[in-house]
Chain A
Amino acid sequence: MPHDHHDHDHLSPSGHPYRKDNDGQLTYWQTMEIAIRELMVEKGELTPAQIQAQIDAMDARSPANGAAVVARAWTDPEFKQRLLENGSDAAREMGFDIGPMHLVAVENTSDTHNLIVCTLCSCYPRNLLGLPPDWYKTREYRSRAVREPRAVLREFGVELPADMTLRVHDSTADMRYIVLPARPEGTENLTAEDLAKLVTRDSMIGTGLPKAP
């Protein structure tokens, strides 16, 4: 699914479809955003530098933040306990500004796998994982992740045993979710820093598993 191309008529030499140019007219809300932004700058409420700094801060967030949290939980049982009890406070403790959001960490174990989706829109733990991948926001993922989650996981290369319980979490309101993947076998001697390198973005959404050492 992440690599399905439905329109095979317009492929680039690399075999990928050309992305449609976005040089149409501005929408009503795009125009409104620009107007309000310019007004606020004109009236001295905001400076262009502040706006750029906020964009830079948003772009700087990446799955490395979440991976550090996961690796800490793998190596520090008391932190893991705090993370599962109150994800927001645990993330703040590691210096990750969570803003007004509430974080719920859900743990994968030998008999339970967790998967995150937001069927209503695109709620995602951006402070820990950065911007969501495009597929996370598609109608296809959002509907199929709750309707046939095991089939979706198979397309991502994750085959769950029949006796494993899959818990799908639909973020419908004020919570944001992160999966605490199970620590891979054979990693007993790795440091938290090395463990973090095994933690992929998808393993924290639940569509993947951590890398093997």
Chain B
Amino acid sequence: MTLSPGTKVRIKTMAPLGHIRTPHYLRGKTGVVERVLGPFKNPEQLAYMVPAPTRTLYRVRFEMGHIWPDAEAPQDTLDAEIYEHWIDQDAP
């Protein structure tokens, strides 16, 4: 199921080893789907030249004040590209 823009999502806190595309500073953080970028082959497997499943890629927008409690301008935002398997859809 593809998430629609505006959906609130939380990034998983997992910490697998290897070639990972979700930066540490966003793990466990909550953001909002800004747009759906479409299906891409998962680069976390492509990097090892093993068969890579297709995953939906999203742009997720986070508030700076949520990522960094001491942010100079908490209303500023950070957008990052997040693959669907990094989104914790069971999170409240």
Contact = CB atoms under 8 A, between A and B. Distances in A.
Contact of A170 (B40, B73, B79): B79
Interface residues on A, range: 20 to 34
A162 B43 contact: no
B68 to A, nearest CB: 6
B77 interface: yes
Contact of B76 (A167, A171, A175): A167
A170 B29 CA distance: 15
Interface in A130-189: 146-151, 162, 165-175
Interface residues of B, number: 24
Interface string B50-92: 0000000101010010011000110111111111000000000
B66 to A, nearest CB: 13
A155 to B, nearest CB: 14
Contact of B21 (A147, A149, A151, A172): A172
A120 interface: yes
B48 interface: no
Interface of A: 102, 104, 119-120, 146-151, 162, 165-175
28 contacts: A120-B21, A120-B23, A146-B78, A147-B25, A149-B64, A150-B72, A165-B77, A166-B64, A166-B76, A166-B77, A167-B77, A167-B79, A168-B78, A168-B79, A169-B78, A169-B79, A169-B80, A170-B78, A170-B80, A171-B81, A172-B21, A172-B82, A173-B37, A173-B40, A173-B82, A174-B37, A174-B40, A174-B43
